[in-house]
């Protein structure tokens, strides 16, 4: 088996900004590129209107009070600066990829994006039209509907993870509501900031000058005095129906199945790390049991996989696949057969060794480079996970036994929710 790597390189270096905020960085001065991640508590759990968090994430930085949308695009495009945006239940993230020599131009502009954002009516109208079309198209896809129904059943519609937007929900938004949300939640003073790539003393000095505001926005004192650093409590997931949940889409050409549950495990538990190995055996890589059976042997699908997803306060395990309509029930039956095998029989040492090698290689690839390290660190910070998970995972990959995996499968691969979405009858 590949040797476990040292954990030390996964820990970033730290730099304290003048306002006391800590900037984390992964340096590699052999690169001419830099990645800057700015993450804030601005996810959908904080919104009072559906689509509001998404709109704010997509529109921040599109224009400012000093640069209109055309001018902003010219500044960024001329320098080849790439901007990526991400929103989830808890956080909103904006990432910038740029050549090191353009930092002097970019950093003051970023300060302007966060201190003086502008959402114009034309920008807002373009966003609304695009988002409405995205949502309408999504509800014509079996995979999209299956995901929504799965989380609705697991968490309930009163939970941020269980609710979802409909196309008409976007009509409740206004440019002022989006602007207020940006001002309230997208603050550099409250942001988690990380740099990776060509990070030198001069770049850190630029960050000191431009990314460390000691004041809040002045547009609305009531908003700026409120704090989003305390998380609102989440309602507990409700008791979901374990029976088959079915939905239909007229004229769908395939079906989607999604099977899973909320795991009663904590992310820092050694048992969760062992469950990650069990998941890989079941459906976590191309040689998994689900792929071998349902794709290679039965030909029901082009691909099927299982995974676990860590959220703050809970972990979800699920299996998903798009399958031929006529094979929907047969595919579900085969999934449960493979689950039952794991619960009834220990896997062989030979199969476990293959999984060990795959998981160790996959882990090494995930930390092969400073951008990969920074992305991994960003995801861990967003979910409040620490390197204890890495320690547990490497130990599980190296030392877990077939008997331990079978023991884990018996209580945790049971009471599963099954969702299928296909064409109307």
DSSP string spanning 331-397? HHHHHHHHHHHHHHSPPPHHHHHHHHHHHHHHHHHHTSSHHHHHHHHHHHHHHT--THHHHHHHHHH
d(CA 132, CA 402) in angstroms, rounded, equals 49
Lowest pLDDT segment from 134-143, 147-156, 212-221: 212-221
Average pLDDT over residues 39-63: 97
121: buried, middle or exposed (CB in 10 Å: 19+, 13-18, 0-12)? Answer: exposed
Band (pLDDT 50/70/90 cuts) for residue 221 is: very low
Question: How far out from the chain centre does Cα 82 lie?
Answer: 19
**CATH number at 244-423:** 3.30.830.10
pLDDT score, position 112:
96
- Two tokens at 45? 């759990």
pLDDT at 224 over 50: no
Write the CB contacts of 42 (distance below 8 Å, at least 6 apart in sequence): 53, 56, 57, 87, 91, 92, 181, 185, 186, 228
14: buried, middle or exposed (CB in 10 Å: 19+, 13-18, 0-12)? Answer: exposed
pLDDT score, position 237:
65
d(CA 134, CA 167) in angstroms, rounded, equals 8
d(CA 178, CA 301) in angstroms, rounded, equals 41
Average pLDDT over residues 335-351: 97
Q: Are strands 192-197 and 301-311 parallel, antiparallel or unpaired?
A: unpaired
Contact (Cβ atoms closer than 8 angstroms) between residue 76 and residue 17: no
Domain ranges in the chain are 10-225, 244-423
pLDDT at 336 over 90: yes
pLDDT score, position 359:
96
pLDDT score, position 241:
56
In what helix (H) or strand (E) does residue 111 lie, and over which residues does it extend? helix 103-115
d(CA 226, CA 101) in angstroms, rounded, equals 37
pLDDT at 20 over 80: yes
Among candidate residues 77, 96, 1, 99, the one with its CA nearest the CA of residue 39: 96
CATH classification number, 10-225, choose in 3.40.50.720, 3.50.50.60, 3.10.20.30, 3.30.830.10: 3.30.830.10
- Residue that the structure tokens 């995901």 belong to: 147
Band (pLDDT 50/70/90 cuts) for residue 217 is: very low
- From the CB of residue 102, how many other CB atoms can be counted at a distance below 10 Å? 18
Lowest pLDDT segment from 8-17, 96-105, 144-153, 212-221: 212-221
Rounded to the nearest integer, the mean pLDDT of the chain is: 91
Q: Is the pTM higher than 0.85?
A: yes
**CA angle, residues 359, 352, 321, in degrees to nearest 5:** 65
Note the pLDDT tens digit of each residue in 270-305.
Answer: 999 999 999 999 999 999 999 999 999 999 999 999
- From the CB of residue 97, how many other CB atoms can be counted at a distance below 10 Å? 16
Q: Are strands 244-249 and 255-263 parallel, antiparallel or unpaired?
A: unpaired
Contact (Cβ atoms closer than 8 angstroms) between residue 387 and residue 10: yes
pLDDT at 231 over 80: no
Strand partners, 256: 322, 421
d(CA 402, CA 278) in angstroms, rounded, equals 9
- Two tokens at 303? 């691909």
pLDDT at 189 over 50: yes
Equal fold, 10-225 vs 244-423: yes
Average pLDDT over residues 152-158: 92
- Residue that the structure tokens 């500044």 belong to: 75
Contact (Cβ atoms closer than 8 angstroms) between residue 383 and residue 19: no
- Two tokens at 84? 């990526």
Query: pLDDT higher for 380 or 216?
Result: 380
Band (pLDDT 50/70/90 cuts) for residue 226 is: very low
pLDDT score, position 243:
59
Average pLDDT over residues 326-340: 96
d(CA 356, CA 362) in angstroms, rounded, equals 10
In what helix (H) or strand (E) does residue 403 lie, and over which residues does it extend? helix 402-412
Q: Are strands 13-16 and 22-27 parallel, antiparallel or unpaired?
A: antiparallel
Band (pLDDT 50/70/90 cuts) for residue 322 is: very high
């Amino acid at each position: 088996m590949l040797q476990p790597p040292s954990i030390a390189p996964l820990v970033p270096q730290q730099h304290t900004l003048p306002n006391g905020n800590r900037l984390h960085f992964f340096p590699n001065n052999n690169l001419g590129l830099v990645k800057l991640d700015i993450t804030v508590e601005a996810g959908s759990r904080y919104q009072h209107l559906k689509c509001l968090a998404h709109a704010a994430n997509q529109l921040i930085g599109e224009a400012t009070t000093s640069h209109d949308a055309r001018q902003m695009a010219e500044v960024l495009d001329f320098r080849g600066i790439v901007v990526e945006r991400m929103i989830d239940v808890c956080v909103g993230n904006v990432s910038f990829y740029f050549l090191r020599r353009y930092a002097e131009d970019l950093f003051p502009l970023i300060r302007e994006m966060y201190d003086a954002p502008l959402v114009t009516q034309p920008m807002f109208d373009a966003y609304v039209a695009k988002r409405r079309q995205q949502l309408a198209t999504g509800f014509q896809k079996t995979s999209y509907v299956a995901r929504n129904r799965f989380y609705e059943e697991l968490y309930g519609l009163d939970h941020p993870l269980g609710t979802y937007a409909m196309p008409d929900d976007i009509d409740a938004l206004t440019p002022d509501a989006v602007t207020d949300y940006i001002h309230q939640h997208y603050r550099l003073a409250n942001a988690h900031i990380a740099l990776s790539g060509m990070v030198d003393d001069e770049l850190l000095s630029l960050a000191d000058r431009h990314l460390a505001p000691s004041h809040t926005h002045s547009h609305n004192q009531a908003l700026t005095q409120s704090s989003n650093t305390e998380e609102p409590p989440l309602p507990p997931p409700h008791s979901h129906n374990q029976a088959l949940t079915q939905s239909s889409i007229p004229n769908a050409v395939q079906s989607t199945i999604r099977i899973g549950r909320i795991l009663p495990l904590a992310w820092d538990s050694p048992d969760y790390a062992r469950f990650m190995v069990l998941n890989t055996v079941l459906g976590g890589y191309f040689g998994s049991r689900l792929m071998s059976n349902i794709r290679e042997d039965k030909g029901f699908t082009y691909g099927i996989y299982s995974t676990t997803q860590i959220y703050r306060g809970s972990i979800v395990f699920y299996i998903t696949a798009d399958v031929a309509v006529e094979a929907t029930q047969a595919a579900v039956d085969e999934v449960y057969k493979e689950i039952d095998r794991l619960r009834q029989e220990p896997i062989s040492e030979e199969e476990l060794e293959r999984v060990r090698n795959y998981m160790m290689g996959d882990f090494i690839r995930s930390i092969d480079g400073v951008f990969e390290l920074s992305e991994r660190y960003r995801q861990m910070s967003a979910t409040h996970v620490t390197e204890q998970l890495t320690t547990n995972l490497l130990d599980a990959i190296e030392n877990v036994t077939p008997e331990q995996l079978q023991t884990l499968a018996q209580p945790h691969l049971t009471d599963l929710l099954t969702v299928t979405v296909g064409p109307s009858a």
